[in-house]
Every structure is written in structure tokens, then in C-alpha cells.
Amino acid sequence: SHGIRMALLHDEFCRAEERLVEAKREIAIGKISGAVGTYAHLDPSIEAFVCKKLKLQPGAATQVVPRDRHAAFAQVLALVAASAERWATEFRHLQRTEVGEAAEPFSKGQKGSSAMPHKRNPVNAERICGLARIVRGNALAALENVALWHERDISHSSAERILFPDSTILLDFILADLEALVRGHTVDPKRMLANLRATRGLWASQGALLSLTRAGLPRRQAYEAIQKHAMAAWLEGGADFPTRLENDPDLGKKIGRKGLREACDAMRHLRHEKLIYRRCGL
């Protein structure tokens, strides 16, 4: 259901928040320990005093704080951006003309396409997908910065001046875009039902297969029978898949017409919906 889909989105971004908090903690390190990190000309108490003022933790370092911390932070930014892209891609698919089950917000007077006035392109979702690629690319640069020569070289500096401001600002923008999309998107329940019916009941093939095997029919025999009716329903038209199953006397002998109808009941997929919501913290 669309509700389960949104619950999974909520759950994924709860994990994303936890990762961001941990990444922020790991990178919040201060260092005033001299050119090679040995406190040769400065007492460690000065570093401790300054770090306390800045709410940082003093850490062991060379001339610079080791860049594995920075790389880990960049990977988390990329991972959160990837999660946003995942859901933006889902909304792009749902808004396709062939699906049409959901659509991102579209304000009055907004242009969907400069060339084709009828279009409502998912511009927010597409923008999220594009910007997420930049954040991922920056994460690779952060990994390249981990290996520095001896106590440190300066090769990481130029890259970090670009990648960290860009990645943090971009992720903030991506998340704002995604929030607006999630809060403002519209859903078309009638289209969802129409799409379900368009499958001619084929989505029930697994349930029917399992019902027959539980009733004692060998799996191979059950599979072949289900496949025969599924292919006929899809390719030949006429009766849909559940009707063909009910009209098969051999299958009816095994679990009865009522059992076949229950196996093809769409509500079977929603009977544990509340459990899924609870697991997602809802």
C-alpha cells in the first residue's frame, strides 16, 4: 500500500538521522598540537581549553586530524543523498503516465514543459536525483584525501574547500526538496485500483501456488498448473487469473473454490500492515 511505502520512507530517514548524528560526533575533533602533533612547543592543556570552548573533543593527530573522519562524514552525506534519490526515483515512476498513482506538487500556473503544455514533469524528484550524484561523487574525493604523504601534504585542502561546502549545502537542499515532495504529493486511489485490475489477478500467483502446495499438491505440479492459467489469462484474454483457477476442477478438488478465492484476496497483503507501521516507529 502507499501507506506502507511512506512508512518505509520514514524508517529509512530515521536511520539517516542517526547516521548523521554519529558522523557529526566523529568529525567534531579539535587539534592544536604542533606541526607534527607532538605538543613540542605547546602544552596539551591549551588544546583541551580551546576544544572545550568550541565543544570539540581533542584527538590524536599528525599535523592535521586524520582524514578518515572526514571521509566517513562525506560517505554519510552521500548515503543520505542516495536514500533521497531512491524515494525521488520512486515518485518519478509513480508519476509516469503509464502508472499515474501519485504526483509531486504542481502549483497553479506552473509549467510542466516549455514545449508541451500538457505535461507535468516531476521536476523536484528529477532535481533530487541529479544533485545526489554530485554528493556521491564528492564522497569519492573525500576517500582520495585519506592517504596523505608522511605527516601530511596539502593535496586534500583544495578538494575539501569544494566538496564539504558543496555536499552539505546540496544535501540540505535535497532534503528540503524531498520534504516538500512528500508533504505535498497527491495520490490517486482509483488509478491504483485500476492498475491492480489491469494485471488480471496475476499478482495472486504466489499465494495460489503456496495454497496448493500446503494442500498437498507437489510443488512442480502446482507451479505448472498456476503458470498455465497465468499465461492464458495474460495472453489470451477472456477470464482473468482467479476465475480460471476457480473453474479448474482439478485445483478445486485440492482446496475448493473458496480456498482459491481466499488465495487471490488482495487484503491478504495488508493483514499485517499495522505490524509494519509499528516496526517503522509509527
C-alpha cell at 74: 562525506
- Find out if CATH 1.20.200.10 is the number for domain 2-28+66-104+118-194: yes
Architecture of the domain whose range is 199-273: Orthogonal Bundle (1.10)
Give the three cell numbers for residue 220. Answer: 512442480
Q: What phi-psi label fits residue 150: left (phi over 0), alpha (psi between -120 and 50 degrees) or beta?
A: left
- Could you give the CA distance from residue 231 to residue 97 in angstroms, rounded to a whole number? 26
pLDDT confidence of 223, banded at 50, 70, 90?
A: very high
DSSP state of 57: E
pLDDT tens column, 227-261: 999 999 999 888 999 999 988 888 888 888 788 88
Nearest to 166 by CA among 89, 66, 77: 77
- Does residue 93 surpass a pLDDT of 80? yes
How much is the pTM? 0.88
Q: Which residue has the cell 558522523?
A: 23
Q: Which three cell numbers stand for residue 16?
A: 539517516
Percentage of residues in the chain having pLDDT higher than 90: 75
> Do 2-28+66-104+118-194 and 199-273 agree at the fold level?
no
**pLDDT per position as a tens digit, 178-193:** 999 999 999 999 999 9
Q: Where are the domains of the chain?
A: 2-28+66-104+118-194, 31-65, 199-273
